[in-house]
Chains A and B, each alone.
Chain A
Amino acid sequence: MNSLIELRNVTKTYHLGDETLKALDNVSFTVNPGEFIAITGPSGSGKSTLANIIGGLDHPDSGSVVVDGNELAHTRDNKLSNYRNHNIGFVFQSFNLQGTNTALENVMLPLVFSHMKNKERKIRAEECLKAVGLADRLMHKPSQLSGGQRQRVAIARALAVNPKIIIADEPTGNLDSARGGEIMKLLSGLNKQGITLLVITHDMNIARTAHRIVDIRDGKIMERRG
């Protein structure tokens, strides 16, 4: 089987004042389509950097990153934006919803950048909100929703463009364990429908539900089976 994500000898260094921080140190790593991978590690270990590079938000200093046939390492901003728009759904710890917009409008946002007609956007966003169980909350603003509901809106937003990969960075970090469990259930359900899922977490209970756990320590991968 061809791998969906393939990283070869990827290195990424950050400069913080005089200090240099090796976020990723010669990392090689592959993900097959439909996999559910948990990325764990202490804070500052480079797990977010790994996710950002795969998600096309960040460039590696060296090495190659190929996702679904796209070489990302030296891709220009415009192409990378398109790549994100068509392939990646991001779910953040703090939801990152637009407070003044309704749930529906938040979900429609990625579709704005994929040249879809307004009517089609609405239909698609409604579908996604239904899929995350918020069919009756379309016109609610984030402030009128609970934490769990907000994260569902964020997941619906990630789903909107029909991505191949969902990257969730501590998706349950701001939720209690019951709501967190529901969110993980929703995400693994999406994974079962064929979406490749990368979840960054330091919650081992969540990590254990993944097919694979990729543990990062000081920029190096220590892989374990889940």
Chain B
Amino acid sequence: MRPTDYMRLAFRNIRRQKLRSSLTVFAVVIGATSVTIMLALVTGAKGFFLDQVEANGMLQQVAISAKTDISDFSDASHGYGGNCADCIKLTDAIVDKVKIVPHVTDVARITNDGMLEAITYGSKKLSLEQTTAYDANGILTNNVLAGRDIEAGDKDGVITMTSDYADKFGFKDKYDQLIGKEVRLQTRNFYTGVGADVQPPPQCNGPCKPQEQEQKPTILTAKIVGIVDTSNSSKTIRVPLEWMRGMQQFRQYQMTEADQKLQQESCRNAHGPCNPTQHYTLLVKDMLAENGYGSLIAKVDNSKNAAAAATEIRKLGVGAADAQESIKQQLTIFNILGLVLGGIGGIALAVAAIGVVNTMVMAILERTREIGVMRAVGAKRSAVRTLFTLEASMLGFIGGVIGVAAGFGLTRVANIFVNKQLASQNVHAHDIIGLPIWLILAVIGIATLIGMLAGLYPAARAAKLDPVEALRYE
């Protein structure tokens, strides 16, 4: 018997019992539709998540920290890389080395600092925990709600803040009104960075040590240029990196060798007791250059090269992680969700399988004589078995095809609603419930397979029939 004959015979037999076949197929359709929708939802959500990750460039990033034992992207990416004693500091020398690692296209330097204690607008004063700064080179981006983000040319005295600060200042839903406004930033004690009024130690008589002076908090002024979404970054204010460098500067009046000479010379011409005049020089130390940045984010040319670049960067003696690992964890959740929802849809398919078994058992009872005739004219047992198995598979296949089509239609409808929802939340995405080709083929394949499995037992029964008995069957 030729394959085309099997197909033709099986199809003809299905058409013969139109009502019963349609009802059986309908049950498979319900199962296939529910599996399709469930999996389409999960795949859609997963795809949406991956698109978002891809869009914010995370997959093309490698987070670098001074600590080498990081495994997670987010551990390293927040600029808390830490100063451990034996670590290689993330200085500009390291940045230059990272920049020439293959596939790395650019590097963003991040540093966080707690030297700003409070922010005041008008009469309202809010405490600050973190001030963050990073290169405005497009690697790290923010969802700007009003105004603009920090840009590469920005100088001292410019900040953006996350929306929760703006909310607390009373500008909820009117962030625009805060743009261009001036705020005061209060530093902690001992702040010696830009803007600090650092004084030389007072003159002392006799042998005196230059005593430590308490440096009073400094008030810096800044203009708000933008409000950014809190959800993307922890609540913070951001300043241009170069201003941060200035803020971290350590300024102190110290007595240099030249100062000492001046001091000695101040009494050279004196007759009798002389109180030497103490000379001091204001020394400025670039602490950021000395301690290195909190962390670095390297951008690679293609997300596929992120892992390779991370490996290469680790050879510089620093820690590096790409985003794959943390994304993997989230993808696992999607996969579990897919199994659970797919399983729920699968129950309907399992019920449909029972329907197929029932239909096939009935068909065999009805067609017992026909099976007898087929056997009498030379059909082998295997031919009978194949024929009935194929019939059952076809029921599954037809149900699968219609089910996927119905599922496709329903996902289109669902997308209309989801699109509205997304548009109302300013998310630039649409038609997120996708039906990838693999899913279409998988659902049709599973439905066909279930039909086939359901047909195995009835088909075996048909094949086992004794031709003599079958021909005599009334």
A interface list, Cβ under 8 A from B: 52, 55, 57-58, 77-78, 81-82, 84-86, 90, 92, 96, 98, 100-101, 109-110, 112-115, 118, 157, 161
Contacts and interface: CB of A to CB of B under 8 A. Distances in A.
Contacts of B373: 96, 98, 109
Interface string B274-288: 000000000000000
Report the contact-size class of chain B (Cβ under 8 Å from the partner).
20 to 34
Contact of A90 (B1, B376, B382, B383): B376
Given A57-B376, A81-B380, 13 more contacts: A55-B376, A81-B378, A82-B378, A84-B376, A85-B378, A96-B369, A96-B471, A100-B12, A109-B374, A110-B378, A112-B9, A114-B378, A118-B4
B1 A84 contact: no
A78 B378 contact: no
Contacts of B383: 81, 113
A96 B5 contact: no
A144 B256 CA distance: 123
**Which of A85, A112, A114, A115 gathers the greatest number of chain B CB atoms within 10 Å?**
A112
Interface string B378-420: 1111110000000000000000000000000000000000000
Given A96-B369, A115-B2, A90 B378 contact: no
Interface string B420-453: 0000000000000000000000000000000000
Interface of B: 1-2, 4-5, 9, 12, 16, 369-370, 372-383, 467-468, 471
B372 A113 contact: no
A101 B383 CA distance: 19
A112 B5 contact: yes
Nearest to B6: A112
A184 B156 CA distance: 116
Contacts of B369: 96
A162 to B, nearest CB: 13
B356 to A, nearest CB: 21
Nearest to B472: A48
B394 to A, nearest CB: 17
A90 B12 contact: no
Given A81-B380, A82-B378, A109-B374, A57 B2 contact: no
A52 B70 CA distance: 82
12 contacts: A57-B468, A77-B380, A78-B381, A81-B381, A82-B378, A85-B378, A90-B377, A96-B372, A98-B373, A113-B380, A118-B5, A161-B377
B367 to A, nearest CB: 9
